[in-house]
Structure 1
Amino acid sequence: MKSRSIVYLSASCFSLVLGIVIGTSVRAQEEFADNAPLPPSMPSVSASSLRAEALRALQEGDSARAVLAADAIVRQHGDEPRSIRLAADIYLRSGKVTWAVRMFDRYLKAEPEQRPELWQRGIALCFAGDYEQAAEQFEAHRNVNPNDVENAAWHFLCIAKLKSFDDAKKNVLPAPGDRRVPMAEILAMFSSDDIASVDAKVTSLAAGSDERKEAAFYGDLYQGIYADARGDSILAETLVTRASQHAPHNYMGDIARVYARRLALNATR
Structure 2
Amino acid sequence: MNIQFRTLRAATSFRRPVPCMYVRSFMLMGIVLSSLLSGYGESEAVAQENGDDVPARIFESAVILFFDGKPDASVDAFNQLIVVQPDCQPGLWQRGLALYYADRFVDGKKQFELHRTVNPNDVENPAWHYLCVARATSPENARRNMLAVGQDSRVPMKEILELYRGDGSEEKVLERAAQGDNQQQRNQLCYAHLYLGLYAEANGDTEKAKDHILTAAGPYSMDHYMGRVANVHARVRGWLPSVE
Fold match (TM-score > 0.5): yes
| Number of equivalences | 210
Q: Using the TM superposition, give the Cα deviation of residue 258 of structure 1 relative to its aligned residue in structure 2, in angstroms.
A: 0.4
**Paired residues of 1:94 and 1:254 also in contact (CA < 8 A):** no
Tell me the residue number matched to 2:109. Answer: 135
Q: Which residue of 2 aligns with 1:118?
A: 92
> Structure 2, unaligned stretches of length 5 or more?
1-26
Q: Is the 8 A contact 2:35 2:42 kept in 1?
A: no
- Looking at structure 2, the residues matched to 238 and 220 of structure 1 have their Cα atoms a distance apart, in angstroms, of 9
Matched ranges for 1:11-22 at <5 A: none
Matched, 1:197 2:205: no
1:215 matched to 2:188? The reply is yes
Choose from 250, 253, 262 the match for 2:236. 262
Aligned residues: percent identity?
Answer: 35
Structure 2 match to 1:228? 201
**Partner residue, 1:64:** none
> Is the 2:40–2:80 contact (alpha carbons within 8 Å) kept by the matching residues of 1?
no
Residue 27 (structure 1) shift:
8.3
Q: Name 1:181's counterpart in structure 2.
A: 155
Match of 1:40 in 2: none
Shift of 1:174: 2.0
Could you give the per-residue CA deviations for residues 182-239 of structure 1, whole angstroms, max 9, x where no partner exists?
Answer: 1111111111242221111122334xx1111111001000011110110111111110
Partner of 1:243: 216
Q: Normalising by the residue count of structure 2, what TM-score does the alignment of the two structures yield?
A: 0.76
CA distance in 2, matches of 1:199, 1:29: 41
- 1:31 pairs with 33, 39, 44, which one? 39
d(CA) in 1 for partners of 2:162, 2:116: 17
2:75 is the alignment partner of 1:101: yes
With a CA cutoff of 8 Å and minimum separation of 6, indicate the structure with the bigger relative contact order. Answer: 2
Q: Which amino acid aligns with 2:131?
A: L
Q: Using the TM superposition, give the Cα deviation of residue 263 of structure 1 relative to its aligned residue in structure 2, in angstroms.
A: 2.5
Once superposed, what is the RMSD of the aligned Cα atoms?
2.9
Q: Which has the larger helix fraction?
A: 1
Displacement of 1:30 in angstroms is: 5.5
Q: Please tell me whether residue 167 in structure 1 is matched to residue 175 in structure 2.
A: no
What is the one-letter code of the residue matched to 1:255? V
The CA deviation at 1:170 is 1.2
- Aligned equivalents of 2:135, 2:74: Cα separation in 1: 21
Q: TM-score, normalised by structure 1?
A: 0.70
Larger Rg: 1
Query: How far off its partner does 1:147 sit?
Result: 1.5
Are residues 185 and 28 of structure 1, via their aligned partners in 2, closer, same or farther at CA, if it must alter by over 3 Å?
A: closer
Write the deviation string for residues 22-45 of structure 1: whole angstroms up to 9, x where unpaired.
Answer: 7xx9489753661598xxxxxxxx
Q: 1:225 to 1:29 in 2, by over 3 A?
A: closer
Distance of 2:44 and 2:88 partners within structure 1: 26
